[in-house]
Amino acid sequence: MPELPEVETVRRGLVPALEGRVIERATVNRPDLRFPFPDRMAERLTGARVLALRRRSKYILADLSTGETLLIHLGMSGRILISGVSMGAFHYDHPAPARHDHVVLDIEGGARVTFNDARRFGAMDLLETEKADRHWLLREIGPEPLGNAFDEDYLILRLKGRNTPIKAALLDQRIVAGLGNIYVCEVLHRAGIDPRKKAGAISKRHVAGLVPVIRAVLEEAIEAGGSSLRDYRQADGELGYFQHSFRVYDREDTPCPTGACGGTIHRIVQSGRSTFFCPHCQR
């Protein structure tokens, strides 16, 4: 379920196991995911110390002592399992190797990080740390929604004149980073905006109102993910897939959670993807 909050939760879960530690062994079980792994990836990872774990949009970036940065994208079905560590009173044993365990990192001190991705829409690459921002996957991405560069004036400017539905505009990673199908549905419901409305036809006041809603929805989801880490809820050591209830996503035919409006959640398809919304209170 990797949108920005889930990726951030995975990053935070990896920090204790990875940051400051040496990758003792990297096992690469296939040549590619969405695109081929870089040449000699296993060798280039082996012996490297992880200096810092960062996140940009839905990408996890691990800066290494070798001057390279490991880029990880979870795609649709990517999962990261952590094992060989203790959290509170619980110890996560190494699981048996599983189908679609594409990359396994054995870490100094006994931790193991396993990247599993059934659909293989995920990605991994190694890039020069100094040039990370200019990597082709990162270059065109818009501002972080929780950062200072994302504000009312910016969003008004970027949506001005756009003829595409607001749903599609918010999914466009060049406009704002990290939102996916679920959180766009949640945001538009909370902001009371019809997902079919042309982005450029929404009043400045309503566009401005989207900014704090986007921030709040993402921050709440990150907080929920953080709770799941603190409470050691992931019995199998899988990071990021915390329980989080959505107000409209996947709730077709249920009453609008606004309560007062009396509407029902509808499902429509926009550019090939499901949109869930309340036609009564989203206008």
Partner DNA sequence: ATGTGTTCCTGTCCGC
Partner DNA sequence: TGCGGACAGGAACACA
Q: Where does this chain bind DNA (CB under 7 A)?
A: 1-3, 6, 34, 57-58, 73, 75-77, 99-100, 118-121, 137, 140, 161-165, 168, 171, 173, 180-182, 200, 241, 271-274
Instruction: Provide the minimum distance between the beta carbon of 13 and DNA in the complex, in angstroms, as a whole number.
Output: 16
Instruction: Provide the minimum distance between the beta carbon of 264 and DNA in the complex, in angstroms, as a whole number.
Output: 18
Question: Amino acid letter at 269?
Answer: V
Residues 6+ positions from 39 with CB-CB distance below 8 Å: none
Specify the residue, 111 or 122, whose C-beta has the smaller distance to DNA: 122
- Alpha-carbon span 109 to 104, nearest angstrom: 15
Instruction: Provide the minimum distance between the beta carbon of 274 and DNA in the complex, in angstroms, as a whole number.
Output: 3
Active-site residues, by number, are: 2-3, 58, 273
Specify the residue, 109 or 161, whose C-beta has the smaller distance to DNA: 161
Residue 116: which H helix or E strand, with range? strand 112-117
Residues 6+ positions from 14 with CB-CB distance below 8 Å: 53, 60, 80, 82, 113, 239
Specify the residue, 111 or 244, whose C-beta has the smaller distance to DNA: 244
Specify the residue, 58 or 190, whose C-beta has the smaller distance to DNA: 58
Residue given tokens 């996957």 in the structure block: 137
Instruction: Provide the minimum distance between the beta carbon of 134 and DNA in the complex, in angstroms, as a whole number.
Output: 14
- Per DSSP, the residues of 196-263 read TSBGGGS-HHHHHHHHHHHHHHHHHHHHHHHHHHHTT--TT-EES------SSTT-TTSBPTTSTT--
